[in-house]
Amino acid sequence: MSLRIASRIAAIALAGLVASCGAFDFEQREPWRDAAELQCLRAGGFTRSASAEMIGTIDGPGTCGLEHPFKVSALADGSVAVEPAARLGCPVAAALNRWMTESVQPAAYANFGQPIVGIKNAASYGCRTRNNKRGEKLSEHSFGNALDIRAFVLANGREISVTRGWNGAPDERAFLRQVIGSACGPFRTVLGPGVAYHDDHIHLDLARHNSRWTSYCRPRPTNVPAAPQMIPQQPSYDAYPRGYPPQQPALEPYYSPDVPMSYADHDHLPTGSVPDGFLHDPMDE
């Protein structure tokens, strides 16, 4: 009789432990997570720098954490500050770098005539369930595989808030729809205004939703033209010694006057007004 009672007490205690710690504490972390980190690091997808400090392994609780986290205080070669600094894994940090350079900055120049110099970080690493709802699966934030952005900061100090800008001034509305639209592809999950719990920020992650690596993006802005792309300058061959092959030319932003949702004051921003660090000339190496 006493043995039966003891067994019941043990079962109740175990149930309480599961409830208090969360059932996810007993799951195993998907093998692809650590493998993706290592692959990214070995390929040089994101590297240590003055604005990307490698910190110690984050281990738990439960299956949360990542092996090789970075503390990222700036993206795009240090030209876009992240405030406060974000704790991220290599894969999502590399994707953020590409998105910032290839999509966000061209959209900023097209609509505002100046670059983004900072983003306001709403959430990076944090061990929790999706939307902090009890019983849900773990969020990608639990693995340093996601970033929430609540605002973008322009070079003149103007802040483009997701909350106010989504239905705000025409240039802000165009910019936010362009950057959200361009994020679907580089990221596997993109969530923003109109989605429950996401009216005040843009959520970006690299979750693997299924074996086909499909993306889940909401909202899906329609009738929004892509921001102008970066195009190479034509190299001046007279500047090179005879027989010396020209290197890859530097990039400059190109702004088409035909983009209907561009609200910059001018059609073509002079290269000279691009801030130091945004454009990289390989001849400077």
| pLDDT on residue 130 | 85
What's the pTM value of the predicted model, to 2 decimals? 0.70
Main-chain phi, psi angles of 33, to 5 degrees: -65, -55
The pair of structure tokens assigned to 152 is 């973008």
End-to-end CA distance of the chain: 81
The pLDDT value given to residue 9:
41
Residues with Cβ < 8 Å from 147, sequence gap 6 or more? 86, 88, 92, 96, 121, 123, 124, 203, 204, 205
What is the DSSP pairing of strand 80-88 with strand 116-123?
parallel
| Average confidence (pLDDT) per 10 residues, the chain, 285 residues | 44 38 55 92 95 93 92 97 97 97 96 97 93 83 96 97 96 95 93 93 90 79 59 35 37 32 33 31 31
All structural domains of the chain with their residue ranges: 21-218
In whole angstroms, give the CA distance from residue 204 to residue 141: 10
| Half-sphere exposure at residue 47, Cβ-oriented, CA atoms within 13 angstroms | 5
How many other CB atoms sit within 10 Å of the CB of residue 170?
10
* Spatial CA neighbour of 204 closest among 276, 149, 260: 149
Q: Identify whether 84 is preceded by a cis peptide bond (ω within 30 of 0).
A: yes
The tokens for 236 are: 């001046």
pLDDT of the residue at 193: 95
